[in-house]
Amino acid sequence: MPTGLSYWEKESFFYNHDAIIIGSGIVVLNAAIHLQKLVPSLKMAIPEKGFIPTDANTKNAGFTCFGSISEPIEREEITGIHRACSTYWKTLKGPSQTYNLLGDNTIDY
């Protein structure tokens, strides 16, 4: 254990965790939410390298929206109509699940 840490730092960062999940991106937080639902008593830490999330967390809206009409058209041409429709559904369904889980106040919608 590093030296020179306060009691709070030692207790909060180095002990009493059943799981440590690295990063605070949408995929990682989703995994943490599902893990917490499976094991409600689980004590988790979710460290993030920066003050606020960066990287794909703030840049990759493709998980939750269509960037342009050309994207779904190209996907249909490449994967076929059935797989493209499945992807469209997931793209539409994902944000509503997040919204239902977190609500207006948390999302600041």
Q: Which residue has the tokens 């606020």?
A: 52
**Domain ranges (residues) in the chain:** 1-59, 61-109
Question: Which one has a higher pLDDT value, 94 or 7?
Answer: 7
pLDDT tens for each residue of 3-15: 778 887 777 766 7
pLDDT higher than 80, residue 81: yes
Q: Is the whole-model pTM more than 0.75?
A: no
* pLDDT value, residue 87: 81
Structure tokens at 64: 């939750």
Structure tokens at 24: 């605070």
Alpha carbon distance 41, 36 (integer Å)? 7
Residue 80 confidence (pLDDT): 92
Amino acid identity, position 34? H
More confident residue, 42 or 26: 42
